[in-house]
Structure 1
Amino acid sequence: MTTELRVLSQPDWDRWFDGILRAFGEVEPGERELYRGLTELERSIAAWDGEQIVGSASTLSFRMTVPGGAAVPSAALSMVHVSATHRRRGILRAMMRRQLEDVRAAGNEPLAILTASEPHIYGRFGYGMATRQLDADIDTTHVTLRVPPASDGIRLRTAADADSVRDECESVYARRVTARPGMLLRAPGWERYPLLDVPEDRDGATALACVLAEDESGEVRGYARYAVKSDWDDHHVARGSVLLRDLEALDTASYGALWRYLFGIDLMPVLKVRGRPVDDPWLHMIGDNVRRCRPHWRDSLFLRPVDVGAALEARTYSSPIDVVLEVEDGFCPWNAGRWRLSGDARGATCERTQDAADLALSVRELGAAYLGGTTLRVLSQAGRVDELREGSLSAASGASSASWGSITSRSTRCAPAGS
């Protein structure tokens, strides 16, 4: 490799970001300035070939909720690209190694995370698919929504300008973060990201709107951000769509009221839902006509431990666990070896040991199972985890699974993408 990796400097940001745009597509001026403000220069890398920038990678500082409710510092990999003129020269591998070594050297982020435009890339660097997201196109003319009776006591208030109620929405989001592993606490500046609404990108839809759910005292208990897109068939029959951007609620009544509102918008027989949890409660409010919702899931957040011991100690376990893990990590060899994990719902320890291993797995499988959405038992059935001591798999799998599903919506993406 003849290229040189350098920390990004402010004067080079525009050239650096131009390379990302060539890889991912153009953005509008408002988006560009938002990304400029969110980029952490000292954690961003430019790959140089002479005077030309031919690759990029950036680390963003987040805290992510893990099983047990702790907000764990996590290094979010983003803005990764290699110029088409410089493929297969080891540039991506060098940037990935540099990023993980820098995170390890800093010593305060036991996890690395990303969302991927090309998810097949990251397994070889130790990332496992830790969360999935649910998308659906709900035919509201044939799907009946049944909300809790308490939803009748919720007052809804619309705001045509979503930015005007940003603080109220952020207050709800901040209270929701600890409820679901995989959600990201928003650092200052990131509250603007879910409000990105460039007119040129709307494809005929309206500007982003917001509806708030309030209780009898006037306290905001939930919100939904959405747009609508009108459409008519040849017989002038409405076939428009409601485009849900994100929705959060603090209680069942507010949650139900918001979904009922979205289902009832006139002339919009389709509700397009993206980036929802795979166990989203609306799935159980619609009766048995789920096929009319066309649900499907796709990959969302990818995760890898940067420090196996610290990562496994950072979360809790639903039942007592005492297991020795033989971990393989060819890309970050400091993680390789045997680790004894002991803990329960109150906390955990994970330390090096010479004791015989109970389970053998790679760091990629640890990442996939870390948030609890995928179990070690399922990974074992796929041939990715080996049980070396009989009975250890069942105990470890049950203790490390979570009662929550997993979410990564646009409001929590590591923008613009991992790669």
Structure 2
Amino acid sequence: MTTDSCTTVNIRAIPEADIDQALDLSYLVFHVKASEKARQHDRDILLGSARTGAYDGDRLAGQIAAYPLTLSVPGNRLPCAALDFVSVAATHRRRGLLTSMFDEVWRGCADAGQVLSCLWASESAIYGRYGYAPAGETCQIEIDSSRPLALRIAPDSRPLRLIDPADAPALAGPLFDAHLAHRAGRVVRDEAWWRTHVLHLEGDDDDDDDDEGFGPPRVVVLGAPGEPVGGYAVYRTRGPGESPGAVLVRELEADGAPAAAALWSYLASIDLTATVRGPFRPADDPLLLLAADRDQVRATRREPGLWIRLVDVRAALTARSWAAPVDLVLDLGDTAVPANAGRFRLTAGPDGSSWTPTDEAADLTLDVRELAACYPGGTRLAHLVYAGLVTEHTPGAARALDAALATEWLPATGEY
């Protein structure tokens, strides 16, 4: 237990007996009116999390929950603390509570061997000062499906079939797992994660999609029974009424462009609908290239996706894969986790990497936040130099590090 700068507030673990108090604080801060079903879903998440609270007497004034999961990074999968329920009561703002709670979170990550931390930011202005940065961008794709979808390639000819959503983890899961190596920023799933975060078969029945009149989740797969699934889509539909009929695509995975073409063509052909919307698609979704008419297929919004933080910089850098050799000295700043800060030589390449302290002159000076932005391959260091956020002391150093960090596909996280 620690005491923050306001001597009446103690930072300590939240016991199971205070779970309901933690939920009440979260709902107060985020202005949520939760059903009992949604409350039970949130209670289960908290029970499975490491919980840090700021107590004013015996009352919670702030909290952070850290849920353990595994995240894909280039060439690997790493243990990660996914933060949720981050909240401080309005009566206790600007008193250092969040900083004090984060100090406990970093200690907990070290004890649990969690190299990374991640979160979905509700207020992005907050988390940069704690070393978090967007791991990549997502885009919203909209298809005008009032006419047949025009594509530049022929769709895969394998049959499409609807399956029971409860069977999706077993049938579609192997394809998703195989694609984990393709994109950084994805959560390694078990069946429970599929049911609650992808299919939404359990938990929050106050989903925003329900407010728009969408029905239950549907799952379509590409491939005949008994054959490996070549692609799948998780989606919901809304018939015409006060609003036009629409298809909402929660997730779509395919083993190649023809398979993706078959799935998108199917979704765009569903009767009594005029729009297909994919709210959280990768920024490099192949559909944007496959479309024969970009007036029919549009990226209507781009925004930061999952935010990540390098809790243990050395472990994170030496665990990922590298696309090209690089040998540079980085002067890294990290006010929240001092063990990460200092001057280090990064020697890396396809055969491995090392991160060792050095007194040599720095090639680049940057903060851990900027390193986190570049780490999964979605942000170019040269752009951060141009923006004045990274200092390049040796000409070409940023370009060399970009080449080493490069990935074939941009990082993306579909869960929301």
TM-score by length of 1: 0.90
CA distance in 2, matches of 1:42, 1:230: 39
**Alpha-carbon shift at residue 195 of structure 1 (Å):** 2.2
**Alpha-carbon shift at residue 40 of structure 1 (Å):** 4.9
The answer for the alignment partner of 1:196 in structure 2 is: 200
The answer for the alignment partner of 2:230 in structure 1 is: 221
Conserved 8 A contact 1:77-1:112: yes
**Alpha-carbon shift at residue 36 of structure 1 (Å):** 2.7
The answer for the alignment partner of 1:47 in structure 2 is: 54
Residue deviations 1:330-350 (CA, integer Å, cap 9, x gap)? 122221111111111232111
CA distance in 2, matches of 1:185, 1:315: 16
The answer for the alignment partner of 1:95 in structure 2 is: 101
Gapped runs of 5+ residues in structure 1?
414-419
Indicate how the Cα distance of structure 1 residues 346 and 28 shifts in structure 2: closer, same or farther if over 3 A, else same. Answer: farther
CA distance in 2, matches of 1:335, 1:354: 15
Q: Could you tell me which amino acid in structure 1 is paired with residue 22 of structure 2? A: W
**What does 1:219-298 align with in structure 2 at a 5 Å threshold?**
219-232=228-241, 239-290=244-295, 293-298=298-303
Deviation larger for 85-94 or 357-366: 85-94
Say whether 1:184 aligns with 2:191.
no
Indicate how the Cα distance of structure 1 residues 191 and 292 shifts in structure 2: closer, same or farther if over 3 A, else same. Answer: closer
Say whether 1:344 aligns with 2:353.
no
Residue deviations 1:72-103 (CA, integer Å, cap 9, x gap)? 11222221111122211111111112111221
CA distance in 1, matches of 2:356, 2:148: 52
CA distance in 2, matches of 1:28, 1:172: 34
Indicate how the Cα distance of structure 1 residues 260 and 150 shifts in structure 2: closer, same or farther if over 3 A, else same. Answer: closer
The answer for the alignment partner of 1:170 in structure 2 is: 173
Gapped runs of 5+ residues in structure 2?
1-5
Conserved 8 A contact 2:364-2:390: yes
**Alpha-carbon shift at residue 271 of structure 1 (Å):** 0.7
Residue deviations 1:281-333 (CA, integer Å, cap 9, x gap)? 11111124247524221111112211221111111211111111000111222
Say whether 1:57 aligns with 2:76.
no
Q: Secondary structure at the match of 1:380?
A: helix
The answer for the alignment partner of 1:416 in structure 2 is: none
Say whether 1:303 aligns with 2:308.
yes
Conserved 8 A contact 1:321-1:395: yes
Say whether 1:396 aligns with 2:401.
yes
CA distance in 2, matches of 1:46, 1:169: 39
Say whether 1:369 aligns with 2:378.
no
**Alpha-carbon shift at residue 369 of structure 1 (Å):** 0.5
Structure 2 residue corresponding to 1:206, chosen from 215, 222, 235:
215
Say whether 1:73 aligns with 2:79.
yes
Conserved 8 A contact 1:38-1:190: no
Identity over aligned pairs, percent: 33
CA distance in 1, matches of 2:152, 2:249: 18
Structure 2 residue corresponding to 1:319, chosen from 319, 324, 344:
324
TM-score by length of 2: 0.90
Deviation larger for 121-130 or 132-141: 132-141
State the Cα RMSD in Å.
2.2
Report the count of equivalent residues: 403
Conserved 8 A contact 1:155-1:216: no
Conserved 8 A contact 1:157-1:212: yes
Indicate how the Cα distance of structure 1 residues 290 and 56 shifts in structure 2: closer, same or farther if over 3 A, else same. Answer: farther
Conserved 8 A contact 1:147-1:257: no
Indicate how the Cα distance of structure 1 residues 179 and 364 shifts in structure 2: closer, same or farther if over 3 A, else same. Answer: same
CA distance in 2, matches of 1:387, 1:12: 49
Conserved 8 A contact 1:143-1:289: no
